[in-house]
Amino acid sequence: MKCIINRRAQFSASHRYWLPEWTEAENFEKFGRCAQAPGHGHNYVLFVSMVGELDEYGMVLNLSDVKQVIKREITSQLDFSYLNQTWEEFQQTLPTTEHMARVIWQRLAPYLPLVRIQLFEHPELWAEYEGNDMEAYLTISTHFSAAHRLASPHLSLEENTEIYGKCARVNGHGHNYHLEVTIKGEIDPRTGMIADLVAFQNAVDDHVVEPMDHTFLNKDVPYFANIVPTAENIAVYIRDVLRQPIQEIGAQLHKVKLIESPNNSAEVYCTDADALPTLNQTQARMLAQASV
């Protein structure tokens, strides 16, 4: 039986976004404060995902061996380093989060059966790489506060209460929503970027956070006048709103995840048929039992 295992590691390093063939004005226009000398630093968190068959001891790999490989090939070399000068790969292509994830994959692939590299630059920005040439994923997280009421305008209060419980109360209730938006695209061989990070953040802020923050969704967002603003429907709405702005910055929207509370979240993909996992037999049986 195949199983995916994950190993966490961390390192601290600094870097600078600066291309010597560009003028100072061009660098600051493209990279903002990240172009400032001598650079800036992060506490990076790395997740290495590997796949394999379970052996007679119930393991895919010996995690002690995995730990030593990651330390030897990655963390011992990058910890407390200036990334631009540490590895040759970062001298030709800037050490962005997405490019770093790709290079880490390349350096670990000869030793480990990789399926994914996930690298967090900080808790609100991370990249994923799955071995697909120059294609990578970049995620930013943000938040907004909003109120809503779960009630169909076509049903009575009693009917809505039967479906939505307390969430159907007439004056609504609020959440501090946590939003994760993932894009995918080709890593630029010089800048190391999938897309301009500032433009990505601005697209999410301008089209989602600002219009939805501190609103009563049912009343203030026209889309929800006749659509019940469940977490699922809000995620679908955000996905549809962001498709075009993300295309305009040169990337493709991949996934939207909306966390309504620590207990509830919903995620939708830009191409559902391609991205959603299929149910295995056990999951299908559990779903069928739950619906009875």
CA 204 – CA 220 distance, rounded (Å): 18
Return the exposure string of 54-75: e unless at least 16 CB atoms fall within 10 Å of the residue's CB, then b: eeeeeebbeeeebeebbeebbb
Which member of 40, 143, 173, 214 is catalytic? 214
- For 290, phi and psi rounded to 5 degrees? -70, -25
Tokens standing for 64?
Answer: 């002690």
Q: Residue 243 has which token pair?
A: 């498709």
Tell me how crowded residue 235 is: count the other CB atoms within 10 A of its CB.
22
Catalytic residue among 73, 167, 178, 207: 167
Distance CA 86, CA 201 (A): 29
Whether 214 is a known active-site residue: answer: yes
Identify which of 201, 195, 199 has the alpha carbon closest to the alpha carbon of residue 251: 195
Closest CA to 102 of 19, 188, 183, 16: 188
**260 in catalytic set:** yes
167 is catalytic: yes
d(CA 66, CA 71): 9
Q: Which of 98, 121, 180, 260 is catalytic?
A: 260
**Catalytic positions:** 167, 214, 260
